[in-house]
Chains A and B, each alone.
Chain A
Amino acid sequence: MDGQALRPTASWENGTLAPVDRLRAERADSPTPGLVEGTEPGAGQKSAMFVHAQSFEDLTAEAEEEARRDDELDKSGECAEELKVLVGEKTIEEQRNNSISSESRSKEEDVSSEAWRSHRKHVFVLSEAGKPIYTRYGTEEALSSTMGVMMALVSFVEAEKNIIRSIHADGCKVVFLTKSPLVLVGVSRTCQSDKELLRELQYIYYQIVSLLTLTQLNHIFQHKQNYDLRRLLAGSEYLTDNLLHRLDRDPGLLLSAVTCLPLASSARDVVSSSLQAAKAKNLVFSILLAGDRLVTLVRKKDQFLHHIDLHLVFNLVGSSSSFREGEGWTPICLPKFNTAGFFHAHISYLEPASELCLILVSTDREDFFNMSDCKQRFLERLSKRSAYQALKEALKCPTYSVAQVGIPELRHFLYKSKSSGLYTSPEFPEVYHSDEEQERLMGLYQDLHSCLHHPTRPLRSFYRCSETENLLAWVTSGFELYLCFSPLGTKALAVSAVNKLLKWIRKEEDRLFILSPLTY
């Protein structure tokens, strides 16, 4: 691996790109992308739709805080010798060597086969009493002793007033996330950093909370420490399975962002205003999806949706066929909004075979008919407009080819506008058509993401050459950009491609992003 970090230089940032002040003033006309948040291509013109967040950092902030506490405790000298072996960080050396030493994994050998152990990424959820709640592979029953050991590790370190974060051994990372009353454990052989793995565990945690609320979870375990939570999660395991699949595949979960259906802004504005008009007293969010792509989102004034909550909604809708047959009405907790209570979501497709799914989120559990009525009003209004036809047309080509950008060596890219929390990405080119290749590319992006967001030594930009592709990642206060070039490309070409790409995105931003989000 030929990795090389580019030091961000003033000349690169200022030499070719317009000064920030001018951009602010002439944002709409300027083809030159801004480096400052709020002026980058794709930045919303009004307030953002989502909770303003430094995205990834925000997501992992809690874990960081725990880590800091952990460090402080370390300094206090309470840390026992053996803990130094357990607590990660000390063995941050990347393990390329995936050979499995049977010795270190003997605990699992008792209950599982070689095939089970060779999965790339395991996820376990257990209660603080050590009772299994979820495993990605195999059955929870068969793993009760394994999970017991995991809990013992957590408790042992806790008893010393410390927190176990990770174990690195034999190309395997074991990452712990304690979110009382749950403990989540990830076991990975990928190159992902602890922080990335923690992020994934957080998602799983939020998935469980979204089904039950944290209040209910706490209540259950306060009442009965030994409770078997699988009873309440029965029938929903597939949501967690699918979320884990998405975490491997969906750039949105990596970037903490959402992608939009490419649609002419005139049509999108009509759809948005039709949705805005179909309001009701307790309606908080109206979300229109086309598959995994956002068409529009209208929210109550001063209420923001977090991208994690939106991804959980995407996962719910994408994983279930039950909304196809009728109108769905379900309690749902949006954990980044409020872990204590349920919203009630009306979920239905606009037409029987349509990809367009409308989600109306209300605060009132008796609001079904009101929401159903909102949907009807929206549909009636929209059907009268030509924008509906334009929207249906847009569904036929929900993505675009990278060739449109006109950079010959460019194969694929991810571009996220930080202020809007939206990203855009072309379809995968021919070379990445197989599932394996797509996952491999996602793995490379994850790698770059890890480097840019390294907890102690974050990079602003990163260029990497390999036999199969060259990659460039660049983060500014306004955007995050990941580019994949053919292995024949050069660094100079990559750098010049950034400008060209940003100009193209600026030109297309009306279509690729939601620039004027609405509120009721």
Chain B
Amino acid sequence: NISFHGGESPKGTLRVKMVLLGSSGVGKSSLALRFGKDEFRSTTPTVGCAYLTRVVHLSDVTLRFEIWDTAGQEKYHSVTPLYYRGAHAALLVYDISKRETFIRAQVWLKELEKQYTPGSTVMWLVGNKGDLAQDRQVSVQEGQALANDRDLSFTETSALAGDQVSELLIYKKAVLGLIESPDLTKETFGNKGPKFKDGPHIYH
């Protein structure tokens, strides 16, 4: 079981670098807030990037999620590689009520695929704003089809309604995926270029 705690276990902590990508206004920051505090607040556009950490205690290991909540605005795109470089999990977020954000998510996906060897990063396609189903422009099937085609995990969420089950699913599956095949390195930020040679590291 995954549970959320404020504190951090000093021993056996696995650091997981997770990045949220997607167009401006799709709800990346709201999702990040939902992950961490199970809250919803309307937010101003993210400036640059926001870094949050959340600690998740599993039965045998503590996971420290280092979440990079990037700004969707185009002017910040030149610095975005800083954040997705070396990420263990990437969430490609789009707004189900705005088709262009779905297209934009595919652009992000292409960019990520250029950088990554397949299977090294757990990638999720996330259709957010599930509460706006009446304005839906991207069907569940479309999202799922893209995910199947590109070998991504897929879910729809609502940061507003607090569809916590979905969020937990993301965590759980992301985590399980990571424990099987990842490269949890401490220096995820400072290194130039993606590094996927190392196996999982546990810091004591």
Contact = CB atoms under 8 A, between A and B. Distances in A.
Given A232-B75, A325-B52, A331-B79, A368 B189 contact: yes
Contacts, number: 86
B190 A366 contact: yes
B46, B52, B72, B74: most-surrounded residue (chain A CB, <10 A): B46
Interface string A364-387: 011011001000000000000000
B95 to A, nearest CB: 14
* Interface size grouping (class) on chain A: 20 to 34
Interface string A187-218: 00000000000000000000000011000000
B70 to A, nearest CB: 10
B50 A323 contact: yes
Interface residues of B, number: 30
Contact of B48 (A238, A321, A330): A330
Interface in A270-325: 316, 319-323, 325
A347 B51 CA distance: 10
A339 to B, nearest CB: 16
B75 A212 contact: yes
Nearest to B188: A369
A212 B32 CA distance: 26
A435 B24 CA distance: 33
Given A235-B45, A321-B41, A321-B43, A326 B50 contact: yes
B51 A327 contact: yes
B43 A322 contact: yes
A216 B25 CA distance: 24
A473 B146 CA distance: 68
B44 A372 contact: no
B73 interface: yes
B71 interface: yes
A238 B73 CA distance: 13
Contacts of B50: 322-323, 325-329
Interface in B20-61: 24-25, 29, 32-33, 36, 41, 43-53
4 nearest CB pairs, A to B: A330-B48, A326-B52, A235-B45, A235-B73
Given A322-B43, A328-B47, 7 more contacts: A238-B45, A321-B43, A325-B43, A329-B49, A331-B48, A332-B48, A365-B79
Interface of A: 211-212, 231-236, 238, 316, 319-323, 325-332, 345, 347, 365-366, 368-369, 372
